[in-house]
Structure 1
Amino acid sequence: MNRVWIYLFSALCALAAGVYQVEAMEVLTSSELEVVNGTNVRLKCTFKSTYPLSEDKITVSWSFQPLGKTTEEGFFHYQGKAFPPTTGLFKDHAVWSGDVMKGDASITLQNVQFSFNGTFSCQVRNPPDIQSIAGEISFKVVQKVSFSEIGILAVAVGGSIGIIILILTIYVCVKLVRRKDNDMIYEMDEHTSKDRVL
Structure 2
Amino acid sequence: MPWTRTRQRIGAGDLAVHSLCLMLVCFVASPVSPITVTSPPELHASRGESVLLVCTFSSTSRPTSRMSVDWSYRPPSGGAPQTFFHFSSKAFPPADGQFQGRVRWQGSPARGEASVTLLNASLADNGTFTCSVRNPPDVHGSPTSHTVLTVTPKVASVRFSDVGVLLVFVLLPSALVTLGLIARMCCPQKEHSHHSKAYRSPIEVTEEDEYAAWQMRTKMRKKICCDLDKTEWEEGYYSQKTRPPGEQGVAESQC
Q: Is TM-score (shorter-chain normalized) higher than 0.5?
A: yes
Given the alignment, which residue of 84, 87, 93 partners 1:78?
Answer: 87
Counterpart of 1:188 in structure 2 is none
Q: Distance in 1 between matches of 2:99 and 2:54?
A: 17
Q: Which has the larger radius of gyration?
A: 2
Counterpart of 1:104 in structure 2 is 113
* % same residue: 38
Counterpart of 1:171 in structure 2 is none
Given the alignment, which residue of 146, 162, 171 partners 1:136?
Answer: 146
1:41 aligns with 2:42: no
Q: When the two structures are aligned, how many residues end up with a matched partner?
A: 144
Structure 1 residues 63 and 142, CA gap change in structure 2 (3 angstroms): same
Q: Distance in 2 between matches of 1:99 and 1:44?
A: 12
Q: Give the 5 Å matches for 1:154-165.
A: none
Q: Distance in 2 between matches of 1:84 and 1:144?
A: 27
Helix, strand or coil for the counterpart of 2:98? coil
Deviation, structure 1 residue 21:
8.9
2:31/2:137 contact within 8 Å kept: no
1:60 aligns with 2:69: yes
Deviation, structure 1 residue 106:
0.3
Counterpart of 2:188 in structure 1 is none
The CA deviation string for residues 68-94 of structure 1, in whole angstroms up to 9 with x for no partner, is: 122110000001110000100000111
Deviation, structure 1 residue 130:
2.3
Counterpart of 2:130 in structure 1 is 121
Higher strand share: 1
1:114 alignment partner AA:
L
Structure 1 residues 49 and 113, CA gap change in structure 2 (3 angstroms): same
2:134/2:143 contact within 8 Å kept: no
2:73/2:84 contact within 8 Å kept: yes
Deviation, structure 1 residue 144:
4.3
Q: Distance in 2 between matches of 1:61 and 1:83?
A: 10
Helix, strand or coil for the counterpart of 2:34? coil
Q: Distance in 1 between matches of 2:41 and 2:104?
A: 21
Q: Give the 5 Å matches for 1:165-184.
A: none
Q: Structure 1 unaligned runs (5+)?
A: 146-198
Q: Which has the higher contact order (CA 8 A, sep 6+)?
A: 1
TM-score by length of 1: 0.62
Q: Distance in 1 between matches of 2:79 and 2:143?
A: 18
Q: Distance in 1 between matches of 2:84 and 2:139?
A: 20
The CA deviation string for residues 129-174 of structure 1, in whole angstroms up to 9 with x for no partner, is: 12343110011111148xxxxxxxxxxxxxxxxxxxxxxxxxxxxx
Helix, strand or coil for the counterpart of 1:57? coil
1:27 alignment partner AA:
V
Q: Distance in 2 between matches of 1:37 and 1:67?
A: 17
Higher helix share: 2
Q: Give the 5 Å matches for 1:179-190.
A: none
In the TM superposition, structure 1's runs of 4+ consecutive aligned residues that sit over 3 Å from their partners are 18-22
RMSD: 3.0
Q: Distance in 2 between matches of 1:144 and 1:95?
A: 22
Deviation, structure 1 residue 22:
5.0
The CA deviation string for residues 6-46 of structure 1, in whole angstroms up to 9 with x for no partner, is: xx99x97xx87x95795221101000001111100110101
